[in-house]
Amino acid sequence: MACIILSNLLPLVCLFYFSIYSTAAKPDGCGIRANTQTRIVGGEVSYPGKWPWMAALYRSNTNQYCAGALISDRHVLTAAHCVSGVHPSKLHIRLGEFDIPGRLPTSSTQPNKSSSGTLLDENSNGNNLYSVEKIIVHQQYEPRSHLHDIAIVRLGQAVLFSPVIQRICLPPPSLPSLEDRTAIVAGWGTTAFLGTSSPSLREVEVPIWNNQACLQAIGKNVFNTTLCAGGRIKSADACQGDSGGPLMMPMVDDRWAAIGVVSWGIRCGEPTKPGLYTRTSHYTDWILSTVQRTA
């Protein structure tokens, strides 16, 4: 059992990390970035290797349409609305990428083989495209209200970890209030409502809202399983194509945890309308048991 302290949060929290790590996992654990260069965020292009757990989701013959986060050597955490009703054979996932191709090649694409020459550098393992073996959508997912908008994707092959492919940590089942703290969301989604997608991974820092204030701003469908975050003064938000990606927060030892999953919002980047995320800590036990059951 590993014990961690979240930055500026008083309680000591412990996670049974080993239950989601196979023997293929690196001994240094989750949430560690090989590239620790720092940069001020705020809707800017990121840089290669900064968020090595980011996953790009593709359906057959479509552009990248959702994101996710690698949480073990076989599992990606994402939003239910991204994968609900999708057959595993129609879904592919790219890992270890910074600049991504808009559409998967249509000719002789082999899962788990690099097909576009878009690998970051010599650290990438050449197996950046993965097939999907199983999709597990939360059993209580409600599409109309976005309640329980969370899912786990099991890859068809174990991941070979590298400096540009790592897994992110999970938060403990109970967290102190995160209100007014800041987190980071990253993705390849559109840079404005109904705008064009970004071929390069982008990131933005967002403040976390009180749920009551969020409910007043949004008007409905804000639950205790919801986490709200977004710019109150300037535009800062996830947008189309970012769905399923992680809302991330650092820990004192510079390990990162996925505290939320991009779920939905009203337009994008409006200061009075935060983005809505599935609160990962509410589902930590479900995630761990699901990953263990499908290991």
All structural domains of the chain? 52-167+283-293 (2.40.10.10), 182-281 (2.40.10.10)
Residue 105 phi, psi dihedral angles, 5° rounding: -60, 145
Which of 43, 151, 141 minimizes the C-alpha distance to 88?
151
Q: Are 136 and 148 in contact (CB under 8 A)?
A: no
User: How high is the pLDDT of residue 242?
Assistant: 81
> Residue 184's beta-bridge partner residues?
205, 248
Encode the chain (295 residues) as per-residue pLDDT tens digits: 233 333 333 232 333 333 333 323 343 589 988 654 433 234 455 556 789 999 999 998 777 889 999 999 999 999 999 999 999 999 999 999 877 655 565 443 444 443 333 333 333 334 589 999 999 999 999 999 999 999 999 999 999 999 899 999 999 998 888 998 999 999 887 554 444 556 678 888 899 999 999 999 999 999 999 999 987 654 444 565 689 999 999 975 789 999 999 999 866 656 688 999 999 999 999 999 999 999 8
User: How high is the pLDDT of residue 280?
Assistant: 97
> Residue 260's beta-bridge partner residues?
247, 279
**67 token code pair:** 């994101």
User: How high is the pLDDT of residue 252?
Assistant: 58
Residue 149 annotated in active site = yes
User: How high is the pLDDT of residue 29?
Assistant: 80
Residue 185, amino acid: V
User: What is the spatial distance between Cα 6 and Cα 92, in angstroms, rounded to a whole number?
Assistant: 33
Identify the active-site residue in 73, 149, 237, 242.
Answer: 149
**112 token code pair:** 């788990």
Identify the active-site residue in 75, 81, 146, 282.
Answer: 81
User: How high is the pLDDT of residue 115?
Assistant: 33
User: Kindly report the CA angle at 201 between 89 and 120, in degrees rounded to 5?
Assistant: 80
**43 token code pair:** 């809707």
Residue 249 phi, psi dihedral angles, 5° rounding: -140, 140
User: How high is the pLDDT of residue 148?
Assistant: 98
Count of residues in the chain:
295
User: How high is the pLDDT of residue 19?
Assistant: 33
Residue 156 phi, psi dihedral angles, 5° rounding: -75, -10
User: How high is the pLDDT of residue 94?
Assistant: 93
Q: Are 244 and 131 in contact (CB under 8 A)?
A: no
For the chain, what is the total number of helices (H) and then of strands (E)? 3, 15
Q: Are 248 and 136 in contact (CB under 8 A)?
A: no
Identify the active-site residue in 243, 263, 281, 282.
Answer: 243
Q: Are 130 and 159 in contact (CB under 8 A)?
A: yes
**85 Cβ neighbours under 8 A, 6+ residues apart:** none
Residue 177 phi, psi dihedral angles, 5° rounding: -60, 135
User: What is the spatial distance between Cα 142 and Cα 150, in angstroms, rounded to a whole number?
Assistant: 10
User: How high is the pLDDT of residue 217?
Assistant: 92
- Give the count of beta carbons closer than 10 Å to the beta carbon of residue 248: 22
